Structure 1
Amino acid sequence: MFERFTKDARTVVVDAQEEARALGHTRIGTEHLLLAITCSTGAPVGTTLARFGVTAESCRAAFDPAPGASDGHFDEDDAEALRAFGIDLDAVRDQAERAFGPGALDAPPPALEPAGRRLFGLGRNPTGLVGHIPFEPRAKKVLERSLREARTLRSDHIGLEHVLLGVLGCDDGATAAYFRRLGVDPAALRAGVLADLGQAA
């Protein structure tokens, strides 16, 4: 199937991994594919996305956790919950810092980097995450759905527009929540994309 992807569509798949890496994410989701599409310069669907307020900036901002979401650190409520199970969070922290030094629990462990990436400096990688980042099942379904979208539109290739339609056709909870944070109705955006593609044909 991948041989039917246009060069731009292939680039978006690769760029989705780079976007996930740049954000410090360990899996590629539908939202990373959408972000990569918004970063494609000169893509006809870019005009439609911009008209609906979907830009690289808005996509990146939609990754931010909602107010009250955990930032990965334990707060007093977490410590209280752990105490109910007989775990003293302060004692655990003290023991870790005695063994590994001050702030040992504050930073993530360093990622292992394949020698080739380190030697040749491949990819942009401000977070230090390296190596292959796997696709979530919902993102894999987008790529499969993009083939069906291309067939429906009687196209002999799979382009950015088909990948975008694949993203917009996702009905899983994580993708729906991401679109809510973006403030976009996927069905309305899909209709806009199809209308613009019809005018361009």
Structure 2
Amino acid sequence: MFQKLTANARTVLRAASERSAQAGSPGIRAEYLLLPLFDRPDFAAGAALVTLGLTARRGSVEQALADAARRGGLSQTDAEALAGFGIDVSAVVEQAERAHGEGALAASDGTKDRWRPEYRAFSEEARKVLARAVQEAKEQGEKQIGDRHLLLALAAGPGVVADVLAEHGAGHADIRRALARGDRAA
């Protein structure tokens, strides 16, 4: 599959790996695939984020992703659904962190415990995103997987990244429309 990636998509994957290393994570999580797109408005996916107003709200997106990780991978929508059953996820997180330390419920990246610092495996969710990106490219009749396919795959979900994008007004259909209006060269 990696030989079918465009140069832009490879740039995104390299940046995702670097973010993973900076975060001290043994694996590349799905959100690490999204965040580099904010830094590349010259890419089709980055331009779509600008068009949708997400770059202006990057801090909010990053905070929502961090909050979801702290909740063990539950999105805000998940937390609200549980609140309907009388479960206060914030209280559960606070109690767990008091007992076991900050980040006690932080979502695992789904990689194996045995890892080498020079090699960052993709988490299960990130692998699913890559598979959806391949499918997005096929559906569009394209032979290469570009950064726009990665963004569409992230938004297609399921997953925290898709939920956060949707909560910020950038669902799959919104992103598809923004990409259709923009440059398709990535």
TM-score by length of 1: 0.60
User: How many residue pairs are counted as aligned between the two chains?
Assistant: 152
In the TM superposition, residue 161 of structure 1 has moved relative to its aligned partner by: 0.7
Listed as ranges, the matches of 1:92-111 within 5 Å are: none
Partner of 2:122: helix, strand, or coil? coil
CA contact (8 A) 1:31 1:178 kept: no
- Read off the aligned partner of 1:175 and give its amino acid letter: V
CA contact (8 A) 2:9 2:145 kept: yes
CA contact (8 A) 1:5 1:158 kept: yes
CA contact (8 A) 2:45 2:147 kept: yes
Q: Which runs of 5+ in 2 are unaligned?
A: 69-88, 103-114
CA contact (8 A) 1:147 1:158 kept: yes
In the TM superposition, residue 155 of structure 1 has moved relative to its aligned partner by: 1.8
**Which residue of 2 is the match for residue 88 of structure 1?**
none
Rounded to whole Å, the distance in 2 between the matches of 1:52 and 1:18 is 26
1:162 to 149, 153, 170: 149
Distance of aligned partners of 1:11 and 1:73 in 2 relative to their CA distance in 1, 3 Å threshold: same
Kindly name which structure, 1 or 2, has the bigger radius of gyration based on alpha carbons. Answer: 1
Rounded to whole Å, the distance in 2 between the matches of 1:200 and 1:159 is 9
**Which residue of 2 is the match for residue 82 of structure 1?**
none
Q: CA RMSD in A?
A: 3.5
CA contact (8 A) 1:35 1:59 kept: no
Structure 1 residues 98-130: Cα deviation after superposition (integer angstroms, max 9, x where no partner): xxxxxxx99xxxxxx97xxxxxxxxxxxxxxx4
Rounded to whole Å, the distance in 1 between the matches of 2:95 and 2:43 is 37
TM-score by length of 2: 0.64
**Which residue of 2 is the match for residue 12 of structure 1?**
12
Listed as ranges, the matches of 1:1-201 within 5 Å are: 1-55=1-55, 56-65=58-67, 68=90, 70=93, 74-75=97-98, 78=99, 130-172=117-159, 174-179=160-165, 183-197=168-182
In the TM superposition, residue 12 of structure 1 has moved relative to its aligned partner by: 0.7
Partner of 2:151: helix, strand, or coil? helix
CA contact (8 A) 2:44 2:179 kept: no
Partner of 1:33: helix, strand, or coil? helix
Rounded to whole Å, the distance in 2 between the matches of 1:65 and 1:42 is 29
Rounded to whole Å, the distance in 2 between the matches of 1:61 and 1:74 is 18
CA contact (8 A) 1:27 1:134 kept: yes
Rounded to whole Å, the distance in 2 between the matches of 1:68 and 1:9 is 36
Structure 1 residues 12-65: Cα deviation after superposition (integer angstroms, max 9, x where no partner): 112112112323444322211111222225113322212323235444333332
Q: Which runs of 5+ in 1 are unaligned?
A: 80-104, 107-112, 115-129
CA contact (8 A) 2:28 2:121 kept: yes
Identity of aligned residues (%): 27
